[in-house]
Amino acid sequence: MSDLAISIPEGLIDDIADRVRSQLAEQSSDDPWFDVKEAAGYLRAKPQRIYDLTNQGKLKHAKDGSRTLIRRSWLDAYLGEGAP
């Protein structure tokens, strides 16, 4: 096994970190995370409808432990696909 060393200038690391922070801040403010209750309110549906859609694979979601989280853009995409 050989050792691999890559030298990255300090300024480049700082620039990358600044860009990542900027993109994360922009994304989170424009595309918030909803829990199931909030997602249901956004769709004006019951929470069970959200669970049904995620279980059927019709609505993209993420898990944080036992919590189901959905981005607003994922709800908009679902609606834009001609949701029944």
Q: How many residues does the chain have?
A: 84
Question: Residue 26 has what pLDDT?
Answer: 63
Question: Residue 68 has what pLDDT?
Answer: 96
pLDDT band at 27 (very low <50, low <70, confident <90, very high): low
Instruction: Summarize pLDDT for 67-76 with one digit per residue, the tens.
Output: 999 999 999 9
CATH topology classification for 32-84:
Arc Repressor Mutant, subunit A (1.10.10)
Residue with tokens 């249901």: 40
Q: What's the rounded Cα separation, in Å, for the pair 81 and 79?
A: 5
Residue boundaries of the structural domains of the chain: 32-84
Contacts of 59 (CB under 8 A, 6+ apart): 50, 53, 70, 74, 75, 78
Phi, psi of 69 (to 5 degrees): -125, 140
Q: How far apart are the first and last CA of the chain?
A: 56
Phi, psi of 49 (to 5 degrees): -65, -40
